[in-house]
Structure 1
Amino acid sequence: MKQLLLDVLPAQAPSLENYVPGPNAEALAALRALPSGRAVYLWGPAASGRTHLLRAMVADSADAIYLDNDAPINTFQAVADGDAGHALLRRVAIDDLHAMDDARQACVFALYNRWRESAATEHALSLVVAGDTAPHQMQLREDLRTRLGWDLVFRLDALSDADKMAALGRQAASRGMQLAPDVLNWVITHVDRDMRRLSALVDALDRYSLAAKRPITVPLLRAMLAEQPEPSNPDSPPPTLS
């Protein structure tokens, strides 16, 4: 079968609204209501939605910033110290803490101290940090590891296939579409299982079905994916379907 390219389908921007909680509803509710002066540590395996939630928490906010292991060390230092334009930040999201080197860990440690010192003041900020394991199992400097448990801690679990199929079915129904079980099963077994990209696939399938004036079936879905253009950068091939 011809390789079917999914990377050209744009994923939805992360938001709390398009996060599918599955077993993580408690964590989502806490993030929705998170006030300044509170901190949350999220931990869980890959594909549990850590990055989605952290990016959603800072989306479209001029007074918020997202940092991961790729952020320059000078940016980490400025945020930790509250220097220059970073003094007015009200929310900081730190992703993939488990991957950070000693210098970045030192900055996150300083940031936790800044967060605690300012918690009861007009300069209070909220702090959302994510890693792949529980605080007591993190391989970090000890003084930082203990700070992860200072406030709220939530474990995130990856969505089951049943959760994803139910979420896609609800999304389709909200658009007036009906996805038959065989279509949902084909998507789950053949397509990249990132929920944002699966949601983008449902949106694209709705448009394609309307344009083709054909009902949504597995052959229609395969035809749509087969018509996607090749990626522009041959050195970075996208995930493929088999």
Structure 2
Amino acid sequence: MAQLALSLPVREALGRADFFISPANALAVATVGDWGNWPQGKLVLVGPEGAGKTHLANIWASETGAMILHAEDLADTSADALAIWGRIVIEDAHLIAGDHAAEVTLFHLHNMVLAQAGLLLLTAQSAPNRWPLGLPDLASRLQATAVATLTAPDDALLSAVLVKLFADRQITVPPSLIPWLVARIERSFSAARDIVDRLDRHALAQGRPVSRALAAELLDSAAFEGP
């Protein structure tokens, strides 16, 4: 009898030891780590969903004492209250585009942090010149900001991401499963997250361990084609 697969929260490991460096992300990692040389003390970290932006931003915040804020909270937050931190991360900064209040807050925050020789790290899915910002002064400042890019994963990075995703869920898998999956799923972080989630739920529902046989069954089934 199939078991009910409960959707339990997954605690993601966000420490430096949990971040795998490969040629696909080495330059971005080095740029974030070299924060003493960021032009004007600011940087935009760009990459697709699941590329490791949040993980890398958390490492940087932990090592520099920075505060982390999500872009969606900017509209209801005072720039003066934020600026006192001096070192700030704004996650998913591209989401402020079109939100006038959020854009104004980021504009003032940007100016205040840099005026006091602070540091500002923004994460986003695209570079600022692609954000449809309504505030020209903010657009010009962000477009003049240095950009570090996390690119699509190579085999080594995709393998490490899969290992980490399984570990975050406390799932032990046979070593042979990782290269088998890498050769068969789309080369993206979102695909890695999707297959791990599906395998976890399928294994729970079937009362079976995660294995190559289970993965082959899932990839061949109609269940893999839909949510």
Q: TM-score, normalised by structure 2?
A: 0.64
Partners of 2:51 and 2:60 in 1: CA distance: 16
Matches for 1:118-157 after TM superposition, within 5 Å: 118-119=116-117, 125-140=118-133, 141-157=135-151
Identify the match of residue 180 of structure 2 among 180, 185, 206: 185
Supply the AA of the counterpart residue of 2:180.
N
Task: Specify whether residues 66 and 182 from structure 1 end up closer, same or farther in structure 2 by C-alpha distance, changes over 3 A only.
Answer: closer
Partners of 2:51 and 2:162 in 1: CA distance: 17
**What value does the CA root-mean-square deviation take over the aligned residues?**
4.3
For the residue of structure 2 that corresponds to 1:105, the secondary structure is helix
Task: Specify whether residues 131 and 171 from structure 1 end up closer, same or farther in structure 2 by C-alpha distance, changes over 3 A only.
Answer: closer
Structure 1 gap segments, 5+ residues each: 120-124, 202-213, 223-238
Supply the AA of the counterpart residue of 2:142.
L
Deviation at 1:71, TM superposition (A): 2.1
1:91 aligns with 2:87: yes
For the residue of structure 1 that corresponds to 2:45, the secondary structure is strand
For the residue of structure 2 that corresponds to 1:67, the secondary structure is strand
Is the 2:71–2:93 Cα contact (8 Å) retained in structure 1?
yes
Q: TM-score, normalised by structure 1?
A: 0.60
| Residue matched to 1:46 | 49
1:74 aligns with 2:76: yes
Is the 1:42–1:128 Cα contact (8 Å) retained in structure 2?
yes
Is the 2:113–2:119 Cα contact (8 Å) retained in structure 1?
yes
Deviation at 1:149, TM superposition (A): 4.0
Question: Percent of aligned pairs with the same residue?
Answer: 25
**Greater Cα offset, 4-13 or 38-47:** 4-13
Deviation at 1:38, TM superposition (A): 1.6
| Residue matched to 1:28 | 29
Deviation at 1:31, TM superposition (A): 1.8
Structure 2 gap segments, 5+ residues each: 167-171, 201-208, 217-223
Partners of 1:145 and 1:153 in 2: CA distance: 14
Task: Specify whether residues 73 and 134 from structure 1 end up closer, same or farther in structure 2 by C-alpha distance, changes over 3 A only.
Answer: closer
For the residue of structure 2 that corresponds to 1:193, the secondary structure is helix
Partners of 1:151 and 1:53 in 2: CA distance: 18
CA deviation string 1:61-80 (max 9, x = no partner):
7x5321113426332x2xx2
| Residue matched to 2:205 | none
Partners of 1:43 and 1:4 in 2: CA distance: 38
Task: Specify whether residues 135 and 183 from structure 1 end up closer, same or farther in structure 2 by C-alpha distance, changes over 3 A only.
Answer: closer
Partners of 2:4 and 2:159 in 1: CA distance: 20
Task: Specify whether residues 137 and 87 from structure 1 end up closer, same or farther in structure 2 by C-alpha distance, changes over 3 A only.
Answer: closer
Structure number with greater CO (CA < 8 Å, separation at least 6) is 1
Supply the AA of the counterpart residue of 1:24.
N
Supply the AA of the counterpart residue of 2:124.
G
1:159 aligns with 2:153: yes
Partners of 1:158 and 1:7 in 2: CA distance: 28
For the residue of structure 2 that corresponds to 1:17, the secondary structure is helix
